[in-house]
Amino acid sequence: MSGKSDITTKNSAGVSSAVGGSGATGTTGTVNTNNPTNMFSKEPPINTSDKVGDSKIEKKEKEEEKKTVHSSSSNDVGEGNTNKSTPVIDPSQPGYSYLNNDGIDSLQPLARKKQVSNLSLSDQWNSSVALSGMNSTKSSSTNLKNSGSRVSFGAGSSNRSSRRPSLSMRFKKNIIDHERVASYAFAFDIDGVIVRGPDTIPEAKEALKMLNGQNKYNIKVPYIFVTNGGGRPEEARAKDLSQRLGIEVTPEQIIQGHTPMKDLIDVYKNVLVVGGVGDACRKVAIDYGFKNVYIPLDIMYWNPSVAPYHTLTEEEKKVVRKDVDFSKISIDAILVFADSRDWATDQQIILDLLLSKKGVMGTRSETFDEGPGLYFAHSDFVWATNYKLSRYGMGALQVSIAALYREHTGKELVVTRFGKPQRGTFKYANKVLSAWRKDVLEDHVEKLTPENEEEELEIDPKNRPVFGASDSESEDEDGDEALTVQKLSQLTLDLPPASTVYFVGDTPESDIRFANSHDESWHSILVKTGVYKDGAIPKYKPKHICENVLEAVKYAIEREHKKELEEWNSGAIDVAPGSQEGQSHVNRLETIAATPANEKPSFIV
């Protein structure tokens, strides 16, 4: 990932120190326990003015929403975070929500700067190749490569010497069903959407097979998974999902709560990693590149009296580090990677370090502001498992630790949060999704490009194809470098942003807030297979509510096909492709393409 930006770290007392880092940073929040969360609230309706690039369909939907916002029974329940009431920041005041104290609700989602085409990514690619008159000879591609020039594909070039003009001509259609890669994409939450603990939600299998192309429109839709869960490597999570769903899921499609914490490896030398089973999280942290990784079990082995109620089992003794004297080690940061399996001991040790001098066990700071920074992979107060009622999650642990810290010091605990709904994790997810979309397009183009064609194409640097008028990825807010597509003799192309990203989640506080808070092109869908229960009015309003992930996929595919067909036909000729008139259109275009720019095509007398 590119774009180094400063990471500000704050220790438990909020004392900050700026250190270098990369894109994804956690958000720092103060803590209070009064009224941790009130998941559901009666909110005033929203104003839904049309935005740049809204297709007819989106405009129609907004009209509908205006009419239906209050009827909790309807599936479309308004848009964006309607929780615009001013957050209560004084912990002693009623309504103060600890898990809502980091200002996310005052964030405005990024508006799309330019219209993005709803035509499939591969069709935009094909028309760009066709219209750019590309011919390939080995040398020119290497020249292009070395010259580092960029090509953005889409809206056609000035030069008319095109090789396959017919490819860019469109005939009106009632349905678009040729094999292609969508310009829209999906991002899925996992717990409560795809799985419930050990159980796989049955509709998930069919839903993902549909996105892999098994649908009546033969469209392949790129998708990633953004979970607040963790405690194992992304590879293991991908393998588990592949087995459960009977499809191939790769680690490149997986973001867990702690994945963006990879960016802290150059910031901290000695870290205490908390949560998960045994030393699983230590292994993940070491894989990420953290140097000295300790776990609470190591401290309990060093001095069992630290945790009077927990005697190490033989199993646990097998995974502890036996050579560490924690009275001589300064823990620089505490990273809570996954849900704690022993709240009592983990809280005791975390508080010991927060109240210590420079993170040395057995010491106590007079000012309680010399402890290490405390980082959480996420802030979910509850999550859905195979038990009928939701279970407390890492957010609840944050509340508990903050209550102990406040009771002990009278101070507010400052923590740094990762995971949904944080903006740092959103940026991270956006980059992972763009890279995955590129891979999916590459595989598609490769599959469709006959071997010999690869060699024939020639690149003409003067008339570069342009990929739709849309702004390319390179224009995202933190100015990260553009994403490229290597294909067809080393041609490098900018990839336009996804026309829409459908985010399917089960928890309004993390998933819907995540999808609504950062980018208007993200479309939040709330399902009823997890934390959210039918009939309740979610505090963070999704763009759509439906029974399960399969319905969510069907809803989006139909919605997008309508938009794609609308745009396809808006630039198409209304004659039957095989008809005589159709053929004459093709011939005329071929003639235009073959006619030198300064000459009149032969059919113009």
Question: What span, in angstroms and rounded, lies between the C-alpha atoms of 497 and 434?
Answer: 7
- What residues contact 246, with CB distance under 8 A and at least 6 apart? 205, 209
Of 255 and 440, nearer to ligand G3P (C-beta) is 255
Q: Is 187 helix (H, G, I), strand (E, B) or coil?
A: strand
Compute the 3-state secondary structure of the chain and give helix, strand, coil in percent, each to the nearest 5.
35, 15, 50
* Contact residue for Mg ion among 65, 191, 279, 480 (CB under 5 A): 191
Distance, CA of 579 to CA of 325 (rounded, Å):
84
Nearest CB to ligand G3P, comparing residues 191 and 203: 191
Ordered strands of the 484-487 beta sheet: 151-152, 491-494, 484-487
Binding map of Mg ion across residues 488-507, x = CB under 5 A, - = no contact: ------------------xx
Q: Which is nearer to ligand G3P, 191 or 346 (CB)?
A: 191
CA 191/CA 201 separation, integer angstroms: 10
H-helix or E-strand spanning residue 125: helix 121-131
**Could you tell me the smallest distance in angstroms from the CB atom of residue 560 to Mg ion?**
24
Residue 506-545 contact track with ligand G3P, rule CB under 6 A, x = bound = -x--------------------------------------
> Tokens 């095109």 appear where?
162
Q: Which is nearer to Mg ion, 199 or 477 (CB)?
A: 199
DSSP 192: T
Residue number, 132 or 228, with CB nearest to Mg ion = 228
Phi, psi of 191 (to 5 degrees): -65, 125
Distance from chain centroid for Cα 399: 26
In whole angstroms, the minimum distance from the beta carbon of 113 to ligand G3P comes to 30
Q: Which of 336, 335, 374 is nearest to 355 (CA)?
A: 374
Q: Using the minimum distance from each CB to Mg ion, give the nearer residue, 181 or 384.
A: 384
Nearer to Mg ion, 271 or 384 (CB): 384
Query: Which partner, ligand G3P, Mg ion, none, binds residue 380 by CB below 5 to 8 Å per kind?
Result: ligand G3P
- The piece of 187-195, 205-213, 582-590, 593-601 that touches ligand G3P (CB under 6 A) is 187-195
Q: Does 189 bind Mg ion (CB under 5 A)?
A: yes
CA atoms of 46 and 397, how far apart (whole Å): 34
Rounded to the nearest whole angstrom, what is the least distance from the CB of residue 423 to ligand G3P in the complex? 16
* Contacting ligand G3P within 373-432 (CB under 6 A): 380, 383, 393
Judge whether 496 and 154 are in contact, CB under 8 Å.
yes
Stretch touching ligand G3P by CB under 6 A, among 183-191, 299-307, 444-452, 474-482: 183-191
| Residue 156 partner contact from ligand G3P, Mg ion, none using kind-dependent CB cut-offs of 5 to 8 Å | none
Nearer to ligand G3P, 190 or 297 (CB): 190
Residues 6+ apart with CB under 8 A from 431: 1, 23, 480
CB closer to ligand G3P out of 125 and 540: 540
Q: Which is nearer to ligand G3P, 36 or 393 (CB)?
A: 393
Tell whether residue 192 is a contact of Mg ion (CB under 5 A): yes
Contacts of 214 (CB under 8 A, 6+ apart): none
Q: Is 164 exposed, middle or buried (0-12, 13-18, 19+ CB in 10 A)?
A: middle
- Residue 65 binding target from Mg ion, ligand G3P, none, CB below 5 to 8 Å by type: none
The site that binds ligand G3P (CB under 6 A) totals a number of residues, namely 12
Q: Which does 124 bind (CB under 5 to 8 A by kind): Mg ion, ligand G3P, none?
A: none
Closest distance between ligand G3P and the C-beta of residue 266, in Å?
Answer: 27
Which residues, other chains included, contact 49 with Cβ-Cβ below 8 Å and sequence gap of 6+?
A: none
DSSP labels for 47-116?
-----TT--HHHHHHHHHHHHHTT-TTSS----S----SPP---TTSTT--GGG-SSGGGPPPBPPSS--
Three-class SS string for 481-496?
Answer: CCCEEEECCCEEEECC
Task: Find the binding residues for Mg ion in span 528-567 (CB under 5 A).
Answer: none
Q: Residues 249 to 308: which contact ligand G3P by CB under 6 A?
A: none
Q: Which CB, 133 or 505, lies closer to Mg ion?
A: 505
Which residues, including other chains, have CB under 8 Å from residue 604's CB and lie 6 or more apart?
A: none
- With CB under 5 A as the contact rule, which of the stretches 54-62, 182-190, 218-226, 476-484 interacts with Mg ion? 182-190
Question: Is 567 an interacting residue with respect to ligand G3P (CB under 6 A)?
Answer: no
Residues numbered 212 to 251 that lie near ligand G3P (CB under 6 A) are: 227-229
Chain residues binding ligand G3P by CB under 6 A are 189-192, 227-229, 339, 380, 383, 393, 507
Chain residues binding Mg ion by CB under 5 A are 189, 191-192, 506-507
